[in-house]
Structure 1
Amino acid sequence: MTIEEQLRTAINSCGISGNALAKVSGVSQSAISRFMTGEDIRLSAASKLTEYFGLELTKKDGPSPASVPPRSTTGEKGSTKPKARSAKKAIK
């Protein structure tokens, strides 16, 4: 059973309203509602819900972060140097 299926089962069987679940889990009621109707859920929300229900998030098998090359943020091929932010934007 996937973590999505486990979460949906736990939410359906917990016996509390979406609003009450939102309050006790720290996940917005709209995020819970969207998830329950089949939309994806953010990792941060899934983490809060799995913690509330005593479930565990685990990483699927796949490449480790160290083996994935960094993405270029400058648009230059092969460059991994981050874009410089202007001081004006950084202060906001």
Structure 2
Amino acid sequence: MIKLFEWLFIFFLIMGPWTAVVTNFVRNEFTKKYFTVIFCTPFVLVGAFGIISLLIIAYRVFTFNDCIEAEKELKQQIKMAKADLTKKGLKL
């Protein structure tokens, strides 16, 4: 639950001032000049987060190690389980 509060705090810390600027609660020359950039910033950040997440997932999938010994052990256990079930009268 603590991590949730951490993320919510960061979310409101960023979105509070952004909302104030977008709804014209804060008006000055800087916000008028860069309104489009300020308005698009959260959308760009969410998009960048998504792209980076997909790249990290793809990298980890492609560099995942094969466990040949574990595969052999698992196949052996499956054969033993099938033999045990056949011995007990189950038809496979």
Same fold, TM exceeding 0.5? no
Normalization by structure 2: what TM-score?
0.24
Q: Which of 1 and 2 has higher RCO (CA within 8 Å, sep 6+)?
A: 1
Q: Which has the higher helix share?
A: 2
Normalization by structure 1: what TM-score?
0.24
